[in-house]
Amino acid sequence: MPPKSTAKSSKDHLPNQMVISMVAAVAIAHLLNDLIQAVLPAIYPMLKIEFNLSFSQIGLIALIYQITASLLQPFVGLYTDRHPLPYLLPVGMSITLVGITVMAFATHFYILLLAAVLVGIGSSTFHPEASRVARMASGGRFGTAQSAFQVGGNSGSAIGPLLAALIIVPNGKSAVAWFTGFALLAIFILFRVSRWLIQQAQQPKKQSAIQHTGLKGILLYRALGVIGILMLVKFTYIASISNYYTFYLMERFSLSLVQSQVYLFAFLAAVALGTFAGGPIGDKIGRSAVIWVSFLGIIPFALVLPYVNLMWTAILSIMIGLVISSAFSAMVVYAQEAMPGRVGLVSGLMFGVMFGIGGIAAAGLGVLADHFGIIFVYQLCAFLPLLGLLTIFLPKTQH
């Protein structure tokens, strides 16, 4: 029997209607959080030159950051399912604030790794708890709330590289310190969210009108196994673009760093738009249908992307971003429905797996790029979406 705490808040304290102010608050905080996080991969080319780094060292920075967030997130979610920590959100963002300050004034490769660890810790506390708040405030529209939350993060990931190109590239690495203002704003917003969480915990419990019995035994293992493979496909492919797209464009089409950042912004903006659409559609037609269309839809685009000219590279990357990103909110809600009453654990696992896969993929792709070239990496990744055909094995969770 689940412990009697606000761990079940997604069900016991579910408002009758969506609390738009709280969904918006965690979405904006997600935007600010991921905007800050996006600074690091956006300035990889600058760091490579300034510290004379190899692609493998760039991949190691990404690995350290992503794995730090990945390893901690499920434990954070599991712990707060049983022992709620309403002020964990602003505390975690404060750690991120320290991390970007260290990054701004780093003078050695190992200090960069320390900064990556601190920002990773901040991320690990933010995502499972903020995702829980989005579900609590959803009023039963789980996919819509999760999409709003996630699109905030994707918007921040899209804006981050653009701001890096406008602010950090012309002024040097120390200009990273300007991003502390975003962290301070996020801390203020998350403090207000924490106050709302405390108020919710003090209210009489309510029973949700929407019931999910979850999955058990072999069906649960099958569902989690397929979702895990789909996460591997999605975020390995995303990592190939978000971490190395600028290098690919600069090598293949001789673009400048600033020009390539604009193309990266276009891709990440498409990811944000696709994420926003995926949740509401999933609320209407079902999570499995959205996941199926998302993975099946990108196969032809991904296969031809490495062989087209610059114009079609931009068009196809935008189309891929729109389609593949629509699945993430559906996958998160699907897993939450498969394991009801474990919102923190599921959110931690989902976001943790996302960051872990991104980090491992970034490191692995960096090694491949060092040995075989960045163009080969994109030719290899083109076949990954074919694994999305495994969606057919997902059992249904909605009742």
Which tokens sit at 342?
A: 């474990």
Q: Which residues of 201-234 are buried (b: 16+ CB within 10 A; e: fewer)?
A: eeeeeeebeeebebbeeeeeeebbebbbebbbbb
| Cα 303 from chain centroid (whole Å) | 24
Residue type, 198: I
Name the region of 341 (left: φ>0; alpha: ψ -120 to 50; beta: rest).
left
- According to the model, what pLDDT value does residue 359 have? 65
Name the region of 140 (left: φ>0; alpha: ψ -120 to 50; beta: rest).
left
User: Which of 349, 119, 124 minimizes the C-alpha distance to 225?
Assistant: 349
- According to the model, what pLDDT value does residue 311 have? 93
Alpha carbon distance 151, 275 (integer Å): 6
Q: Which residues of 241-278 are buried (b: 16+ CB within 10 A; e: fewer)?
A: bbbbbbbbbbebeebebeebbbbbbbbbbbbbbbbbbb
- According to the model, what pLDDT value does residue 8 have? 43
Residue 170: count other Cβ atoms within 10 Å of its Cβ: 9
pTM: 0.69
Contact 275, 150 (CB under 8 A): yes
Residue at 158 is within a domain: yes
Which tokens sit at 3?
A: 């412990």
Residue 308: count other Cβ atoms within 10 Å of its Cβ: 13
Residue at 125 is within a domain: yes
Residue at 6 is within a domain: no
Residue at 269 is within a domain: yes
Residue at 349 is within a domain: yes
Alpha carbon distance 14, 8 (integer Å): 9
* Structural domain that includes position 373: 19-393
Rg (CA), the chain: 20
- According to the model, what pLDDT value does residue 86 have? 82
Contact 390, 229 (CB under 8 A): yes
Residue type, 259: Q
Residue at 3 is within a domain: no
Contact 89, 53 (CB under 8 A): no
User: Which of 145, 221, 159, 392 minimizes the C-alpha distance to 293?
Assistant: 392
Angle CA 107–31–112, to nearest 5: 15
Residue at 214 is within a domain: yes
Residues ≥6 apart with Cβ < 8 Å to 170: none
Could you give the number of structural domains in the chain? 1
Q: Which residues of 75-103 are buried (b: 16+ CB within 10 A; e: fewer)?
A: ebbbbbbeebebebbbebbbbbbbbbbbb
Residue at 322 is within a domain: yes
- According to the model, what pLDDT value does residue 141 have? 77
| Cα 265 from chain centroid (whole Å) | 16
Alpha carbon distance 232, 357 (integer Å): 6
Query: CATH number, domain at 53?
Result: 1.20.1250.20
Length of the chain (residues)? 399
From first to last of its 399 residues, the chain has per-residue pLDDT tens of 444 444 344 444 555 577 788 989 999 999 999 898 888 877 888 888 888 888 888 878 878 887 787 778 888 888 887 787 888 999 999 999 999 999 888 888 899 899 989 988 998 888 888 888 888 887 777 778 888 888 788 788 778 878 888 888 788 788 888 899 999 999 999 999 999 888 877 766 554 444 555 677 788 888 888 888 888 888 888 878 877 888 889 889 988 888 888 898 888 888 878 877 877 777 777 777 788 888 888 889 999 999 999 999 999 999 998 888 888 777 877 877 777 767 777 777 777 766 667 667 777 888 888 889 888 988 888 898 888 888 888 877 654
Alpha carbon distance 181, 183 (integer Å): 5
